Chain A
Amino acid sequence: MRIERRDFLKASGALVVAFSLFGSGRGTSAADPPGLPPPRNTDKGAVDAWLAIGRDGRVTVFTGKVDLGTGTKTALAQMAAEELDVAFERIDMVMGDTATTPDQWLTAASLSIMVGGMELRKAAATARQALLVRAGQKLDLPVDQLTVEDGVVRAKGDAAKTVAYADLIGPDGFRMNVDPDIQLKKPGDFRVIGKPIPRVDIPAKVTGEFLFVHDFRLPGMLHARVIRPDELGARLVSFDDSAAKEIKGFVQTVRKRDFLAVVAETEWAAIKAARALKVEWTAGTGLPEQKQIFEVWRKKPVAKEEVNQTAGDAPATLAGSARTIKATYEFAIQTHASIGPSCAVADYRDGKLTVWSPTQGPHPVVHEVAGITGLPKEAIRIIYLDGSGCYGRNGHEDATADAALIATLIGKPVRVQWMRADETARSPKSPPRCADLEAGIDANGDVVAWASEFHIGVNHLAVNKPLDYPLLAALELGLSKPEHYTGFLFRNATAPYAFPNIRVKTYHHGEYIFRSSHLRSPGRLENVFANESFVDELAALVKADPAEFRLKHLSDPRGLAVLRAAMDLAGWQKRPSPGPDAGGGGSVAKGRGIAYARYNDTNTYVAAVAEVEVDRGSGEIRVTRFCVGHDCGLMINPDGVANQVEGGIIQTVSRALMEEVHFDRKRVTSVDWETYPILRFPAVPKVELKLIDRPDQPPWGAGEPALVVVPAAIGNAVYDATGVRLRSVPFTPAKVKAALAAPTPQRA
């Protein structure tokens, strides 16, 4: 078992310990679980909240952001190393411990580098400046006569005059505020930012040495399984644990209102006990007919109506247009399908609760755990440990609450592991989406009006606030959680191109079908699908090459650049769609499609060309290649960006082609990999990237933007191949065959 590096700093009254994750018994007080670093100053305004310099010159960086498997641990360390002028190898990162790291809200919305990293850079730059001032005093030189290299300050003219950072800062730390206006390093001076430094977590992950939350153990830890009904909304009537009690290792059943769990000494005993439990539930609250989900969705009460974009007078212009075209797009309910079902470990003793959790939001989730356990927030500590990739509020927070509740009720350390059906069926889901678009074209073939209406889930922009999110345990305890904060669903609804008359409206439906969550690129993915498919329909109508049509209506040079980059990579042949295979009757039709987006309308630019083969007999779409142009401004770690962009593209090919949560009138029937299949190795396309680096620009996110263009690019390629338009995600073979068989090119 691997022991993490230790680094002890002597400080007056506070011992700072780089994480020892395997309780060695060296606790700092009787009340803390063994090996835990003591709480420290986490006030974001203080430099000391962000970093500490050890006697040996190692730098510990504290951040509320976490690494969800995306490489932020490495990239954020690069940013800190850069501003502080220390070697990358000197940095130790502490991430996501609510007692020792500043609150940087969630790790989400592709903001880790853009916002989280910038906060860190400012703190590090402030620290460096302070160290230079101290060095100047010590060496009796003005600051402009000094340089720094790897944590050692040197006089510019005299190599003998040096002093190390470790000798400039005492155990009291910096005791100063972060200067929000501190000058940051210029791109021309970067040593570490911009380098494809290998990720620090990968070696341990490929050797089985890495500690996931699933691997975390505490002395005396028990194992629990939570038992939940199949039918949505069913309530607990009674249970009979007589058979469960016969299982060797069974400890107890835990029940609070509708929350029900079994606890055992071993994991296998917990699993068997859960299966042996006989439970009576009420009938559930029912579900709509899956086939009618979009009609049902449209009819849900509208909590809010917004006009998101206006130019000119679209309704009037449409009425007077020479030609109009209309289309409706739909995007199914999908789920995260994390490979590793959620898991958390909790320990409650002496009135204090510690939860080792894979949550995206250690600081925000404290509020939810407080409500569920009844403990004051000050008594709760959340410590991040990696889970399986989660892609935006999967079951992680639920498992966290489950473990917290059980530990609080039984007073013993407990590990909760969700089973496959829990993760696939019970985790929150992305809301459905439908959009109606209409455009008007004049006699010259120019688009004169664009009108769109999107039916989205009700949206509260709750950035930097704790999220009120209905965790299962909260619902089961009868705690009222009326709100669903699903992020940013209206973004990218706006028309992507310059047309003279525009009106974009969103209808926010307040009643959800399932608990709603922010599945990767929430809102933007579905909105771009509609917009970029519709633009393609317009291009086809006026017999324009779809790439040229987009270039013609775009003036932003960075947008034009990503489009051209994708076209270049793909060897784009200029011609309108549909292409040569569409008229033929061959068994396999080939085509290419393009799509473009500027993420959130305000940051990362991306364009992609998809190449597909459509099997007319089976209706299967094979995506053979994706060529992507991507501009996220300054790239901290270009390989990290590439990894995330490729990954997002491949993941979303799966979503576009095959993913849809299935349910009947009572329950979710997608419970495992057979009932919610995802793309497998043989079907994965080649992904080629052109990452445009703009070191003089602010760094934007790369975790979510690229994938928003995937469904439209594929749909547009299918149109190019077959002349058939797909307007409903996922593009299942059944839908493709139905569309091919329809007498005229129709919606699928």
Chain B
Amino acid sequence: MTSYTLKVNGTERSLDVEPDTPLLYVLRDTLGLRGPKFGCGLTQCGACTVHVDGQETRSCVLPISDLAKGAAVTTLEGLGSTKNLHPLQKAFIEEQAVQCGYCVNGIIMTSAALLARNKNPSEAEIREALAGNLCRCGTHQRMIAAVQRAARAMG
């Protein structure tokens, strides 16, 4: 076991885990976070998406030893909470853009990264940005509307 230091949702954490442990399991099992989800473990679906140093990242195969010391990791919980919603989270609630909710972490984290680089994406740009995220319940249309709503709110 090795000790790793990461800044997770703004808090510095010291993590004693095996070097090859994917970030997803460090976040979920060591830190008890619920945001990032196991969907495939193959980087095919996006359910595990987090931000590492501001970059959207698939956490399911990324070994913790590959992260820089003190790297900043943001999960869905770090974006906002029910008491203090991020505009994207608020927009998803307003559009009721959720059915089972399992994929929504990946959708929101990917959308947050999109809006960080493109404040006013067209519908086509939103669809392209989310092309790597899978949703099986068919909530896509509402999710697109939610991203558009958030973009307007974030101005």
Contact = CB atoms under 8 A, between A and B. Distances in A.
Q: How large is the interface on A (under 10, 10 to 19, 20 to 34, 35 or more residues)?
A: 35 or more
Contacts of A419: 41
B22 A339 contact: no
B72 to A, nearest CB: 17
Contact of B77 (A208, A268, A271, A389): A208
A673 B134 contact: yes
A201 interface: yes
B99 A647 contact: yes
B18 A339 contact: no
A172 B33 CA distance: 41
A248 interface: yes
Contacts of A58: none
B136 A338 contact: yes
Contacts of A125: none
Interface string B113-155: 0000000000010111011111111111110100000000000
A268 B81 CA distance: 28
A269 B33 CA distance: 19
Contacts of B73: none
Q: Chain B binding site: helix, strand, loop or mixed by DSSP?
A: loop
A207 B76 contact: yes
Interface string A190-233: 00000000110111111111111011010000000000000000
B102 interface: yes
Contacts of B130: 681
B55 to A, nearest CB: 19
B6 interface: no
Contacts of A650: 138-141
Nearest to A223: B29
A218 to B, nearest CB: 13
B100 A68 contact: yes
B98 A206 contact: yes
Given A340-B37, A419-B41, A672-B44, A680 B131 contact: yes
A40 B131 CA distance: 48
Contacts of A70: 99
Interface stretch (A92-100, A451-459, A682-690, A715-723): A682-690
B127 A646 contact: no
B18 A268 contact: yes
A387 B99 CA distance: 12
Interface string A629-667: 000000000010001101111110010000000000000
Given A68-B100, A684-B141, A207 B131 contact: no
B82 interface: yes
Given A203-B93, A209-B81, A684-B127, A69 B33 contact: no
A1 B28 CA distance: 12
Contact of B138 (A71, A210, A646): A646
B13 interface: no
A202 B89 CA distance: 10
Contacts of A644: 99
Contacts of B96: 198-199, 202, 639, 643
B75 to A, nearest CB: 6
Given A208-B105, A209-B82, A212-B34, A420 B138 contact: no
Given A210-B101, A647-B138, A417 B89 contact: no
A405 B33 CA distance: 28
B107 to A, nearest CB: 9
A241 to B, nearest CB: 19
Given A248-B18, A643-B99, A268 B25 contact: yes
A386 interface: yes
Contacts of A337: 136
B93 A198 contact: yes
B21 interface: yes
Nearest to B101: A205
A202 B128 contact: no
Interface residues of B, number: 62
B47 interface: yes
B32 A646 contact: no
A16 to B, nearest CB: 26
A215 B93 contact: no
A370 interface: no
A386 B77 contact: no
B136 A206 contact: no
A672 B138 contact: no
A339 B89 contact: no
A69 B134 contact: no
B147 to A, nearest CB: 10
Contacts of A211: 34
Contacts of B82: 203-204, 207, 209
A387 B128 CA distance: 28
Given A202-B98, A206-B92, A651 B137 contact: yes
B3 to A, nearest CB: 15
Contact of B100 (A1, A217, A389, A686): A389
Nearest to B22: A268
Interface in B33-88: 33-35, 37-42, 44-45, 47, 75-77, 79-82, 85, 88
Given A339-B39, A651-B137, A672-B42, A208 B33 contact: yes
Contact of A212 (B44, B102, B124): B102
B34 A340 contact: no
A207 to B, nearest CB: 5
A70 B101 CA distance: 10
Given A69-B99, A198-B93, A643 B142 contact: yes
Given A69-B99, A201-B101, A207-B81, A673 B40 contact: yes
A268 B140 CA distance: 32
B100 A388 contact: yes
Contacts of B42: 420, 672-673
B44 A678 contact: no
A206 B104 contact: yes
A210 B77 CA distance: 11
B103 interface: yes
B136 A651 contact: yes
B108 interface: yes
A224 B100 CA distance: 25
Contact of B40 (A207, A420, A646, A681): A420
Nearest to A22: B32
B137 A647 contact: yes
Nearest to B100: A69
Which of B20, B39, B127, B133 has the largest count of A CB atoms less than 10 A from its CB?
Answer: B39
Interface centre among A71, A205, A207, A651 (most CB of B within 10 A): A207
Given A268-B29, A647-B138, A684-B140, A340 B47 contact: yes
Given A209-B82, A211-B34, A341-B38, 9 more contacts: A199-B98, A206-B108, A207-B80, A209-B77, A210-B101, A339-B103, A339-B134, A340-B37, A682-B131
**Top 6 A-B pairs ranked by shortest CB distance?**
A69-B100, A650-B138, A208-B35, A389-B100, A205-B101, A647-B138
26 contacts: A198-B93, A203-B82, A203-B85, A203-B89, A206-B98, A207-B81, A208-B33, A208-B105, A210-B101, A339-B100, A388-B100, A389-B100, A391-B136, A419-B41, A420-B41, A643-B96, A643-B99, A643-B139, A644-B99, A646-B141, A647-B137, A647-B139, A672-B42, A680-B132, A681-B126, A681-B130
Interface of B: 1, 17-18, 20-22, 25, 28-29, 32-35, 37-42, 44-45, 47, 75-77, 79-82, 85, 88-89, 92-93, 96, 98-105, 108, 124, 126-128, 130-142, 144
